[in-house]
Each structure stands twice: as C-alpha cells, then as structure tokens.
Structure 1
Amino acid sequence: MPNVPKPLAGRRRAPKASIAPRETTHGRYPRGARRKRETRARLLEAAFGLVAKKGIDSVTINEITEAADVGFGSFYNHFDSKEGIFTALVEWLFEEFANTLDRLASGLSDPAEVIAVSVRHTLLRAYREPVWGQLLIREGLSPRALSRGLGQRLLRDSEKGISERRFAVGDQLMCLVSVIGTVLAGIAAELHFAASSKRTVRARKVLRSREEKFAERTAAVVLQAFGIKRVEAEGIARRPLPAGPD
C-alpha cells in the first residue's frame, strides 16, 4: 500500500516527508514552470508542517503562505481554497508513498507477499509519523479511496493475485473494503496506543518491537481475507521486509 524525499532545508523540519517533486531539481522544465512548481511545493510543505503542529481544521491560508514565504494572493495561482491544498497534499503524499512501495516490492513474485509488504510498511510508516497516519485514515474513508494512490495499488495487486489464482475471493469489492477497514482500524488503534504510552528510550524500543509484530499480525489477517490459509498467511507476514526508510 515508503520513502518520500527528505524535507527541504529550512525552518520547518517537523514533517519527515518532503513533497517537493523530483523534477524541480533536474531542470526538465522552463524556468517559469520550475518556479511555479517550486512555489507550489513550498506551499504544500508549509501546509504539511502546519498540519503536523495544529491539525487540519486549525490551519489558515494566511499561515500557510507566511510559512512558505509566499504572497497571500499567489496562493490562488495554485489552489482555489484551503480544502483544495489539503486535497492536493494528501494525493501527493500517498502517490509518492505508493510509488515507493512499488519499488520495494519490485523484486517480489508472490502477490501475497506484495500485499503483506505493503500492509506492514504502511502501518510502520503511520506509527513513525502519526500525522501521516491521520491523513491516511482521512483519505482511506474518502470516496476516491480505491481510485488513486494506495487504493489503486491495492486494487491492482489484488487483481493480479486473483488472476494468478493465488487469491480465492468471492466478492472482490467487499474484500477490498474489508482490507481497507482492517488497515485503517489497525492504524487508528496503534496511534491511540502510541499517544498514551510513555516515550522513554527503553519504551520506544519496546514499542517498535511491538509495532512490528502488530504490523505482521495485521498483514496476516489481510492475507486471510484474500483466501490464504492462516498458517501460510502468518508465515508470509513474517518474512523479512525489503529495506525501507530509516
């Protein structure tokens, strides 16, 4: 369903993810287009940093433009409203994450392992970056959940498993709804647990170990929804993960 570019150097370092497009650093566009894309990326990064501190509902357009060092009026050259920038933010973040999952799973031939790796990396990412997890929950409950980003990849990978007769699914749509619900519920439970836990160094190590096991158990439940027997599903879910971000 993890690696997004690291934040641009600057005053806002709270988010671990940067959403600046790679193309802006490669000179593939005319200068004016590059500047426009860079300004848009700065606005998105500023919005993400503010969301990490205040939550979506408390952030204003003026705060976003000030944090991005962009004129207030310039905001509307890129987005038509606050809701518009948050929609773009979510789409950008999760499309990049989905692309990274594709790279991580590129050497895997078993559709079941691809699904398991995606689920585990998604839960681990949400645990490491709670704001990212909250945004994923928000996106996962939207009407476009299966048409873009992570949902689109889940649909594609499930269809591959079905076509190869690796998965035994009676109703694909209901299976996907069940899988998405399982993953989102798992993220919500972990975010609640992590927020209520003491964050000593020792506790963090224990929590990381527990979170990894929880991600494995969640992946095993997801694989069983695709018709994989429990013992096999648990074995697949415990296989070593392809390397992800630190």
Structure 2
Amino acid sequence: MPDVPHPRPARRQTVKTPIEGREPMAARSPRLARRRAETRVRLLDAAFGLVAEKGMDGVTINEITDAADVGFGSFYNHFDSKEGIFAALVDWLFEEFANTLDQLASGLADPAEVIAVCVRHTLLRACREPVWGQLLIREGLSARALSRGLGQRLLRDAERGMAEKRFVMADELMCVISVIGTVLAGIAAELDLSMSSRRAVPTRKILRSRAEKFAESTAAIVLQAFGLARLEAERIAHRPLPAAPQDATA
C-alpha cells in the first residue's frame, strides 16, 4: 500500500492565557519594591552589626552578605562598593535619628530648648552606642556635614533662633561649625572616658548618670555659643528631657 502523505498539521496559534495565581506586573511592582527595600535594610543592618564588632576596615562584602543572608551578587543591586554601603549606612542612621529629633522637638516653642534637647539626645545615644558615636564623629568631620542629617538640622535651628532674635551670633555659619566641633570633641572624650570606666566595672546607673550630666553640660556650653547667658543656658539645659523612642536611644 503506497505511503499516503499525512497532511501537514496547521500551525497552532499560541493563545496567551493568564496563569492562575500570577499577578500582572503592575500589581507585583509594589511587592517587588517592598522586597528590594527589605533586602537593602537587611544589608545595612548586617553592615552596622559587623562594624560594631570589627570596625569598618575589618569588614568585607562577603561577610555583609552572609550576615544578611543575601546572595553576593544581590549586594551590587543596592551598592556599588563597600565604601558605598558605609556611606549609605551613615545616611540611613543619622537621617533617621534626625527625624526622631524633629519629632521630639516639634512641641517646643523656644529655639534654645530645641537645640538643648537635640544636643542632649545626640550625646546620650553616642554614649550608649559607642559605634554610633564613632560613626557620628566620622560623619561630622566630612565635607557634607552641614548638607544633611544632624548638621542640616542644627543649621536650620540656628537660623530660626537668629530670625526670632533668640540667638546672637557674629557669624552664623562659623558658630554652627564650632558647635559641631564642640559636640564631636565632647563625644570623643566621653567615649574614651567611658571605655576606661567600663574596665573598672561601674554600675549602669553610675554610667547613665554621668552621661546625663555630661550631655547637660555640653548643651549649656552650646547655648552660650549661641549667645545665651550662662545661667539661662544652664537652666534650659537642665529641663526635663522629652523621652525618645526606644529604637532611637537604646
């Protein structure tokens, strides 16, 4: 029986049908953005923990991704280098803290009290978290110190005090720069002293009391730099301190 040629099957048209349970890209975008943001925060958290343990110079990208449980290649979806993540870490930590200070001072009418509260909370956190304090010293000495974060807020609050004739400064910018230097030098000295004191195993209550007195004294000095009389500056610096959220001071 001769072979009968089979008719060539017609080309099947591909009909795209929605896959059950699969969302359109538009619907998935917020989820992807959220996951990306969560990964970035995990990397920053891991970097901060490693810096606290080993210092910046002793941390590698591999260690950061391992601690964050993130693939090595994924690191470069967020940061271009180790220096890049450290710069982002500084921005993240201090912008968040600066926002917290804004919330704490939002109900204060006196620019002098705003300055005092911010200085005291900053010093207290630096004393409680030495690594945070060391990062603050590094950031405060950078060229961008006045353009963002805590430096930007200090300059803004100083300008407000000048506008309301609460502060008296011959040169506003130089005064703010000198205040930043005073705060950073104070933090450096206190961190060194705290390290020595911890070797003597003092109680936590003693350390906290000393840190609070130190923060109050520094705030009084800062207010005097802004033109307040010593007695008034000390009175404002000793006012009850608004409580900060646990994650901002612990």
Mean Cα deviation higher: 35-44 or 196-205: 196-205
Percent identical residues: 78
Encode CA deviations 1:103-131: one digit per residue, 9 max, x unaligned: 11111000000000000000000001000
Encode CA deviations 1:46-68: one digit per residue, 9 max, x unaligned: 00010010001100001000111
Partner residue in 2 for 1:205: 205
Using the TM superposition, give the Cα deviation of residue 218 of structure 1 relative to its aligned residue in structure 2, in angstroms: 0.2
CA distance in 1, matches of 2:184, 2:141: 9
What's the secondary structure of 2:70's corresponding residue? coil
CA distance in 2, matches of 1:227, 1:37: 44
Partner residue in 1 for 2:70: 70
Q: How does 1:1-246 map to 2 (within 5 A)?
A: 30-198=30-198, 202-246=202-246
Aligned residues: 218
Alignment gaps of 5+ in structure 2? 1-28
Q: Which residue identity is paired with 1:41?
A: V
Q: Which residue identity is paired with 2:186?
A: G
CA distance in 2, matches of 1:72, 1:244: 36
What's the secondary structure of 1:30's corresponding residue? helix
Encode CA deviations 1:186-236: one digit per residue, 9 max, x unaligned: 100110011111367753211211111111000000000100011100000
Encode CA deviations 1:7-58: one digit per residue, 9 max, x unaligned: xxxxxxxxxxxxxxxxxxxxxx711111111111111010001001000110
CA distance in 2, matches of 1:203, 1:189: 20
Q: Which residue identity is paired with 2:131?
A: V
Moved runs in structure 1, 4+ residues, more than 6 A? none
TM-score relative to the length of structure 1: 0.86
| Larger radius of gyration between Structure 1 and Structure 2 | 2
What's the secondary structure of 1:196's corresponding residue? helix
Partner residue in 1 for 2:6: none
Partner residue in 2 for 1:16: none
Alignment gaps of 5+ in structure 1? 1-28
CA distance in 1, matches of 2:61, 2:244: 34
RMSD of Structure 2 on Structure 1 (CA):
1.2
